[in-house]
Amino acid sequence: MTFSDISERGLVLLGCGKMGSAMLAGWLSGGLAPSAVHVIDPNPSDWLKSTNVNINGDLPAAPAVVLVAVKPQMMAQALPALQAMGQGKTLFVSVAAGTTLARFEAMLGNTTPIIRAMPNTPAAIGRGITAICGNAASDCDDLDTAEGLLSAVGQVVRLTAEDQMDAVTAVSGSGPAYVFHLIECLAQAGVAQGLPADLALTLAKATVGGAGQLAEDATEDPAQLRVNVTSPGGTTAAALAVLMDPNIGFPALLNKAVKAAADRGKELGK
């Protein structure tokens, strides 16, 4: 399905917060006609009003795509209004965390093509990564459509099974928070060694941002990049001896943290 197909039948965006706005901006800059987009949002932003899309008006009877971008706790209230679009050719794509395909099928019918997606917050600057999977009623064309829409905010990967979604959520969905906390801690450690707080924070942010970009761009894997920075007996080696300690270092700590996030995801999905 191309933007021209979507323009002909229409696209409904349920919820236009930070994630919905980021995706909408990407679609419009990619050539999707504003007249083809129908947004349902109780508190439309000034930016949304300036885009010339249809806001809180009449919806097409059978749009090409409905993209669900409301918070999971609002799903039971928001989705029933779109139930009439189920059991047909309308593709539903959800970026709502913790809402399973089975829960969507219970509301929309199991013959409705549904794609579940997990983006992350760097999508707001076009640097996100989103994992997707579909129900039995969805096909390769549906996955292609979802990937095309979600690639407006970054990379897209496809899962082989929905049960991988909790692990994805724990790694990339929640992962930006782990990195932000690393920046906080690195800056605080710099202050403890005598740096001014603003300088320590500038150094920490630029170091993490630059290292992340290098990891994405380099042909070597992260392990080799780490080795490249580490001189035997040097300052980096001294720090890594602490960070790589199997009992108290990053390996044990991150395994525990990611497991906690994945376990919580399983609980929320019940």
Domain extents in the chain: 3-165, 175-268
Residue 159: the pLDDT is 97
Residue 154: the pLDDT is 93
Q: Note the pLDDT tens digit of each residue in 209-267.
A: 999 999 999 999 999 999 999 999 999 999 999 999 999 999 999 999 999 999 988 88
Q: Note the pLDDT tens digit of each residue in 36-68.
A: 999 999 899 999 999 999 999 999 988 999 999
Fold of 3-165: Rossmann fold (3.40.50)
Sheet-wide strand order for 128-134: 54-55, 37-40, 11-14, 65-68, 91-94, 114-118, 128-134, 154-158
**Taking a C-beta distance cutoff of 8 angstroms, is the pair 157, 171 a contact?**
no
Q: In the chain, pLDDT over 90 holds for what percent of residues?
A: 74
Same fold, 3-165 and 175-268: no
**Taking a C-beta distance cutoff of 8 angstroms, is the pair 222, 230 a contact?**
no
Asked if CATH classification 1.10.3730.10 holds for the domain at 175-268, the reply, yes or no, is yes
Say which residue, 79 or 227, is predicted with more confidence: 227
